[in-house]
Each structure stands twice: as structure tokens, then as C-alpha cells.
């Protein structure tokens, strides 16, 4: 079946968002079935839904990446964006929301409001999206539409209103419009036409948030919901001043790396009409991209289409230099659409390839998954030499590892990352380093006197040449600095790099024949060792900035847990019944936090974490770290 061309006023872009297992994908399947786009209702349990086609989503039976499907209903084109609701994957929902013009926020009829319900609500506010609440699974036992409506209103405000409550809805619409208020006072009601126009305006302006109920599996309320979408959800033109007559411009909001089709880019047309075989320039790379074989998305399939109007969503294969967040425009009228800000990942793991063949394929495979998921980071720690993969949680990283194995045949193991400890000094030292060696012919001679003192955290290193009278010739001064740095790179206590210290070279001596750069480098190393013996060396550890969002009832336990992890609480806030706790915690104490937090809160809390600063390791922990490092060194020597 070929999809006809739709103009901007007849397009509806809706994102299905909400807590994991609240029925988003089943709802999407029911809508697709009701539109006649599939011959039967598919379910996530079968692994056959249109929007959950990723192999990991099928095996895990929950959405891990936004799936998109375009359907036709009541002379409208509805682009459905089925987003993930699990905490570790909900970042993908946020990345795709610029393509939506409204959010269907699903709430499980038996479980009610959950953590990710609140997070999706916050995302809608961030992107100024109208919200329609959809209470799902009303065919299940122990469900109450009335109770869920009351909970929604208590949590999100009186502007959330069931469409069954016609009288209350009419009053709410009238109170924001003087003309409608006058009509309401005079007649006690609103005309059907004014009611419809007023409701659409209130929804578009985020002044009313309707609540509807459905049972997707029983096909109850689905067509009513779709009619509501067609009539009252804003078109792209209702929400933004998009220029339909301008030169074409698009925003790429999602990328897939298909093993056969190559790079697959999903985009929203932000201006003009995009036609097949057109050319657009990438505003980031200034590369010209050809748009051959435009398609409208339908899960992993696509239906070719000749053109796409302003506000529509499309998909194209094999763009050469275009990634998620890029804007592409006609060269005659460059336009830029701001990408979504991506927070730093919460957790990192060391990865080890199982075989040499896996090592060879790792870089290519990681390049592909990084194209798909811009929230990932892949890098090598310059101190520990570990390859690290960082993501939004352990499940997020594990899903990427599974994708590498299944799709790109790269088998890797996840390990806890080595902690990037540092060494520094607390005290001062005034020492001499003297290197002298005779072995027949020219000998070796270098002599330097240095003062060493601590610097503030983050200063790293400072070297000052304070010699005078040529006690150390100028050509040998860099060798002294280099000798100090080379020795500092291997530390003193446990082999970790030394930071935040200052060295002043203030005197020395040399030999006309036997002195050279190597001699002064060796002298500097001896001076460094002498200084470390008296300058009170100490270990530093990375301290992370952590923010946890949790239901209030778990806050006390989490505060106690932070204390047990040597954490320092920096602040707390309560917002709509959710507690936000900010703290600084040593990284070494956070390696198992993801699983521990899930256990402590029944999976209802989430956290983000990023590096903040280095601080001294307390003596009991420092002794263990030094002992472990010396044990490894002894074994290496053996």
C-alpha cells in the first residue's frame, strides 16, 4: 500500500512516553492495527510488533530504542514515536522528542503513576509539548480509571481532566478565553464548534491535559483515542511558525546503523518541502548530501515517497556525514536547529576483547553503535590504559555489549574500571640529586638542588628555574624538568601519576666534559626520590558528583547509604513527591551503585554521575590501595 502525500495541517506527530511496561508498545500496535496497517494486533510478548524490531528489544521484551511508524487514519497522517520507558534507556526518548508535536503519556491502570511517568512529564515540559494522558490496561483486574484520574490530578494539577468530565472541561476551556467565558455565562454551555476549537487551543497551549482510558489488547477505546488525536492534537503548524514555502531544511533526531542498509537517518522536515533526489548541505560538516529514495517510516521497513511536507517525519539511508543532532539545509538558505543537550554518562565499565579477532573488529563495531547512541562514550583511560565504555546504567551498557556481539560479532567482557588514583604531597622538601658515573673515557655528571612543595588541587605541575651564575647551564635545565616529570609519572607510593606539586631548581653544578642532558635527567630523578622521602606523599582519589531522583519514602535509606560510602550530601529538593539528593562520593564506592540503588528502591529511583574533583584518600583505604599495588608490582617483578 502506497501512502499518499499529506500537507502540514493534516500531519500529527505523537510520542508515546511513560514508565516501562505501562503499555506504550502495545498501544502503538493497537493504533497501527486500527488504522489497517497490519492484519492483526501484534504484542511485545510475541516479539512481532512494528516498533520494537531491535533484536535486543525483542529478547528483553521491552523497548530500548524509539521505534517510529506512520499510519493513516481519518484523513490524517499520524507519525507514532514509541519511546523507551526503562530508566537506563529513557534518554533515547528525550533525544527524539524534538520530532513530536504532542505526547501521549501512558499510565498503567493498576500501577498508577511511577517514576518514569514523572520523568516523561518533565520531558514534555522541557520541549513544551502538549500532553494527553492515556490510562492503559483497563481490562486488567484491580484497575480503576477513576482512581488513576484522581492520582494524576493530585500529582500534576487540576488542569489534567478526564474527557468524560464534560462540564468541568467546558468550564476550564471557558475560563481562559473572555469570549467563551461570556458565552458560558449566558447559556451555561459552549457550542460544539466553540468547544472543539477551544479544547484544541487549550491542549496546544498546555493549559489542559486531557485524560483518556483504553484497553489495547481488547481493542477498547483505541479508535476514540485516534479520533481525539486527529481532531485535537496540534499539527506541526499549530505549534511552531514553520515556513512551508521556504527552501527545505531538516533536523536529524535519530540514527540507526543497519548491517545491510548502512546508516539510516530519521528526520523531521523543519521548513519547505523535501523532495526525493534533492540535495541539502550539512550545517556542521558543510558536506552536500543527496536525498535519494525518501521514505516514510514503518518500523524497520519504509514506504518510499516522492516528497515530505513541512513538519512531516521521514527516513533516508546512506547519508555520508550526517549524525544525530545535525541540521541540513539548502545552500541558498542555511538554517540551524539546536540539538538536544546530552548529559554525561552515569557509569563506565572497562571492556576486554576475548580474542585477537574481537580486538580487530572492536573499533568498527563501536563506531557503529556510537552513531546510533550519542549518549555513549568510548575512550581509553590514559593512566590505567583500560578501554572504557560509559553509558546511562549497567543495563544500557550490557545492551550495547549484546548488540556488539549479535550484530557485529564482537565478543567482549565487561569489568569494573580501574580507579584512576593520583599521588601528591602534603609537605615540602629541599634536596639534592647528584649523578656521577665513570666508565672509561667520558663519564656522566649532573648535580641539581630543588625545592618541592604542594599546589592546589587541579594545578597539576609547575616548574621554576631559579638558578643564577650558570650553576646549571641553560641547555640542561629542560633535562631536569623532564627527569622530574618522568619520575612523577610512575609515582612513589603505589605507581600512580603524581600531580599538584611545584619544583624549583635553585642550584647545582656541572662538569665541562662529563655533563650532558642524560646526566641531569638522572640527577633530577634522584632528587625526586629524595624529595618524596620527606615531602609527606599521599594518595588522591576521584570524587564523583551524584544526583539521585527517588520517591520520598526511600530518601532516608539513601542518605544513610551515602554515609556508608564516604559520601557528603550537598543538597536535597522535593518536587511533586519526588526527592532529589545531591552528593559527592568517591568513585571507588560507586562501582556497584546501579544495582544497589535498584535493590534499595525496587527500581523506582534513578541517578546521574559525573567527575567532580580529586581528594585525599583516608589512611585506612590508602593503606589497602598501596599494599595491593605493591603486591601487583612484586608479582610483575617475579
In the block, residue with C-alpha cell 642524560? 518
Q: Give the three cell numbers for residue 63.
A: 523497548
This prediction's pTM = 0.74
For residue 150, the model assigns a pLDDT of 94
- Regarding whether 73 and 177 lie in a shared domain, the answer is yes
Q: Is residue 551 domain-shared with residue 573, that is, in the same domain?
A: yes
How do residues 246-276 score in pLDDT, each as one tens digit?
Answer: 999 999 999 998 777 789 999 999 999 999 9
Task: Output the domain CATH number for residue 79.
Answer: 3.40.50.300
Highest mean pLDDT among 31-40, 366-375, 397-406: 31-40
Q: 221 in a domain, yes or no?
A: yes
Find the Cα–Cα–Cα–Cα dihedral 173, 177, 179, 183, rounded to 10°.
30
Return the bridge partners of 275, or none. Answer: 307
Above 60 in pLDDT, residue 78? yes
Instruction: Write out pLDDT tens, residues 5-63.
Output: 999 999 999 999 999 889 999 999 999 999 999 999 998 888 889 998 877 667 777 78
166 shares a domain with 56: yes
Shared domain check, 45 and 170: yes
Contact present, 148 and 118 (Cβ < 8 Å): no
pLDDT of residue 188: 74
Which range (84-98, 219-233, 521-535, 568-582) has the least confidence? 568-582
Judgement on whether residues 572 and 512 belong to the same structural domain of the protein: no
Q: State which residues form the domain around 193.
A: 8-239
pLDDT for 467 beyond 80: yes
Q: 149 near 112, Cβ under 8 Å?
A: no
Q: How many domains does the chain have?
A: 5
**Does a structural domain hold residue 637?**
no
Q: Name the pLDDT band for 1 (thresholds 50, 70, 90).
A: low
Residue 92 lies in a domain: yes
* pLDDT bracket for residue 521 (50, 70, 90): very high
User: DSSP states of 592-619 as a string?
Assistant: THHHHHHHHHTT--EEEEEEEEEEEPPH
Q: Does 110 lie in the same domain as 16?
A: yes
Q: Flag whether 629 is in a domain.
A: no
**CATH code assigned at 270:** 2.40.30.10
SS (H, E, C) 453-504: EECCCCCCEEEEECCCCCCCCHHHHHHHHHHHHHHHHCCCCCCCCECCEEEE
Please identify, among 239, 262, 279, the residue that sits at the C-terminal boundary of a domain: 239
- With pLDDT > 70 as the criterion, what percentage of the chain qualifies? 96
pLDDT tops 50 at residue 201: yes
Verify that 152 and 42 share a domain, yes or no: yes
Same structural domain for residues 162 and 48? yes
Contact of 35 with 226, CB cutoff 8 Å? yes
* Residue 334 resides in a domain: no
Average pLDDT over residues 81-88: 87
Give a yes or no: residue 635 inside a domain: no
**One-character DSSP codes across 208-272:** -EEEEE-BTTTTBSHHHHHHHHHHHSPPHHHHS---TTSPPEEEEEEEEEETTTEEEEEEEEEES
Q: Which of 188, 215, 239 is the last residue of a domain?
A: 239
- Percentage with pLDDT > 90 across the chain: 59
CA 572 to chain centre: 23
**Would the CA dihedral through 109, 114, 117, 122 be positive or negative?**
positive
pLDDT confidence tier of residue 382, bands split at 50, 70 and 90: low
3-state secondary structure 87-134: HHHHHHHHHHHHHCCEEEEEEECCCECCHHHHHHHHHHHHCCCCEEEE
Domain end position, chosen among 415, 438, 471? 415
Nearest CA-CA partner of 19 in 78, 62, 54, 76:
62
Asked if 47 and 142 sit in the same domain, the reply is yes
Number of continuous H segments (helices) and E segments (strands) in the chain: 17, 30
**Mean pLDDT for the stretch of residues 358-366:** 89
Q: Domain holding 493: CATH number? A: 3.30.230.10
Clarify whether residues 528 and 546 are in a common domain. Answer: no
Q: Please report whether residue 158 resides in a domain.
A: yes
Say which CATH number the domain at 386 has. 3.30.70.870
In the predicted model, is pLDDT for residue 638 greater than 50?
Answer: no
* Residue of higher predicted confidence among 631 and 334: 334
Nearest partner of 323 among 246, 396, 376, 244, judged by Cα: 376
543-553 tens-digit pLDDT: 988 889 888 89
At 637, the pLDDT band (50, 70, 90 cuts) reads very low
Which pLDDT does position 213 carry in this prediction? Answer: 96
Task: Return the minimum-mean-pLDDT range out of 199-203, 443-447, 458-462, 571-575.
Answer: 571-575
Return the minimum-mean-pLDDT range out of 145-154, 397-406, 459-468: 397-406
Instruction: Please tell me whether residues 202 and 84 are part of one structural domain.
Output: yes
Query: Does one domain contain both 127 and 228?
Result: yes
The answer to the question of residue 498 being in a domain is: yes
Predicted pLDDT of residue 383: 62
Give the position of cell 477513576.
146
Q: What dihedral do alpha carbons 138, 141, 145, 151 form, nearest 10°?
A: -120
Q: Kindly state the average pLDDT of the residues 113-140.
A: 92
pLDDT on residue 578: 74
Going by C-alpha positions, the residue among 16, 64, 77, 27 that lies closest to residue 269 is 77
What is the pLDDT of the chain when averaged over all its residues? 89
- H or E element that contains 433: strand 429-437
Amino acid at each position: 500500500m502506497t501512502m499518499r502525500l499529506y500537507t502540514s495541517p493534516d500531519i500529527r506527530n505523537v510520542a508515546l512516553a511513560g514508565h516501562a511496561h505501562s503499555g506504550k508498545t502495545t498501544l502503538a500496535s493497537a493504533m497501527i492495527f486500527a488504522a489497517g496497517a497490519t492484519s492483526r494486533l501484534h504484542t511485545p510478548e510475541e516479539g512481532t510488533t512494528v516498533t520494537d524490531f531491535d533484536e535486543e528489544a525483542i529478547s528483553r521484551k521491552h523497548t530500548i530504542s524509539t521505534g517510529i511508524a506512520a499510519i493513516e487514519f481519518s484523513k490524517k497522517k499520524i507519525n507514532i514515536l514509541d519511546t523507551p520507558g526503562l530508566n537506563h534507556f529513557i534518554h533515547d526518548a528525550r533525544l527524539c522528542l524534538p520530532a513530536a508535536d504532542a505526547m501521549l503519556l501512558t499510565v498503567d491502570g493498576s500501577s498508577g503513576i511511577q517514576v518514569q511517568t514523572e520523568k516523561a512529564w518533565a520531558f514534555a515540559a522541557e520541549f513544551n509539548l502538549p500532553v494527553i494522558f492515556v490510562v492503559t490496561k483497563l481490562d486488567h483486574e484491580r484497575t480503576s480509571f477513576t482512581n488513576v484520574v484522581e492520582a494524576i490530578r493530585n500529582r500534576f494539577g487540576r488542569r489534567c481532566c478526564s474527557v468524560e468530565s464534560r462540564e468541568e472541561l467546558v468550564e476550564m476551556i471557558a475560563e481562559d478565553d473572555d469570549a467563551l467565558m461570556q458565552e458560558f455565562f449566558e447559556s451555561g454551555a459552549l457550542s460544539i464548534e466553540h468547544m472543539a476549537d477551544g479544547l484544541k487551543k487549550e491542549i496546544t497551549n498546555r493549559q489542559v491535559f486531557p485524560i483518556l482510558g483504553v484497553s489495547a489488547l481488547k481493542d477498547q477505546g483505541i479508535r476514540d483515542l485516534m479520533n481525539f488525536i486527529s481532531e485535537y492534537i496540534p499539527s506541526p503548524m499549530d505549534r511552531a511558525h514553520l515556513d512551508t514555502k521556504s527552501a527545505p531544511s531538516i533536523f536529524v533526531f535519530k540514527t540507526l546503523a543497519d548491517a545491510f542498509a548502512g546508516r539510516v537517518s530519521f528526520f523531521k522536515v523543519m521548513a519547505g518541502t523535501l523532495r526525493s533526489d534533492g540535495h541539502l548541505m550539512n550545517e556542521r560538516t558543510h558536506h552536500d548530501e543527496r536525498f535519494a529514495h525518501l521514505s516514510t517510516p514503518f518500523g524497520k521497513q519504509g514506504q518510499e515517497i516522492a516528497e515530505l511536507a513541512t513538519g512531516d517525519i521521514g527516513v533516508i539511508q546512506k547519508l555520508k556525514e550526517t549524525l544525530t543532532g545535525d541540521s541540513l539545509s539548502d545552500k541558498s538558505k542555511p538554517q540551524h536547529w539546536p540539538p538536544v543537550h546530552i548529559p554525561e554518562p552515569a557509569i563506565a565499565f572497562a571492556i576486554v576483547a576475548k580474542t585477537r579477532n574481537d580486538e580487530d573488529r572492536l573499533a568498527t563495531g563501536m563506531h557503529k553503535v556510537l552513531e546510533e547512541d550519542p549518549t555513549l562514550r568510548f575512550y581509553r583511560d590514559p593512566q590505567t590504559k583500560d578501554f572504557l565504555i560509559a553509558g546511562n546504567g549497567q543495563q544500557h551498557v550490557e545492551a550495547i555489549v549484546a548488540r556488539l556481539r549479535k550484530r557485529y560479532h564482537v565478543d567482549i567482557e565487561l569489568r569494573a574500571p580501574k580507579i584512576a588514583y593520583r599521588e601528591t604531597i602534603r609537605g615540602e622538601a629541599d634536596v639534592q640529586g647528584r649523578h656521577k658515573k665513570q666508565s672509561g673515557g667520558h663519564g656522566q655528571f649532573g648535580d641539581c638542588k630543588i625545592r618541592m612543595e604542594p599546589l592546589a588541587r587541579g594545578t597539576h605541575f609547575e616548574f621554576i628555574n631559579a638558578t643564577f651564575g650558570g650553576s646549571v647551564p641553560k641547555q640542561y635545565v629542560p633535562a631536569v624538568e623532564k627527569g622530574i616529570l618522568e619520575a612523577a609519572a610512575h609515582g612513589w607510593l603505589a605507581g600512580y601519576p603524581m600531580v599538584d606539586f611545584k619544583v624549583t631548581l635553585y642550584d647545582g653544578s656541572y662538569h665541562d666534559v662529563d655533563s650532558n642532558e642524560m646526566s641531569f635527567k638522572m640527577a633530577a630523578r634522584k632528587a625526586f626520590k629524595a624529595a618524596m622521602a620527606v615531602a609527606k606523599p599521599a594518595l588522591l582519589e576521584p570524587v564523583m558528583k551524584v544526583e539521585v531522583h527517588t520517591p520520598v519514602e526511600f530518601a532516608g535509606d539513601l542518605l544513610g547509604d551515602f554515609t556508608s560510602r564516604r559520601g557528603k550530601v550537598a543538597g536535597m529538593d522535593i518536587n511533586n513527591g519526588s526527592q532529589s539528593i545531591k552528593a559527592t562520593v568517591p568513585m571507588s564506592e560507586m562501582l556497584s551503585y546501579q544495582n544497589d540503588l535498584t535493590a534499595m528502591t525496587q527500581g523506582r529511583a534513578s541517578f546521574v554521575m559525573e567527575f567532580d574533583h580529586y581528594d585525599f584518600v583516608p589512611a585506612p583505604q590508602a593503606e589497602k590501595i598501596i599494599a595491593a599495588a605493591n603486591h601487583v608490582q612484586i608479582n610483575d617483578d617475579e
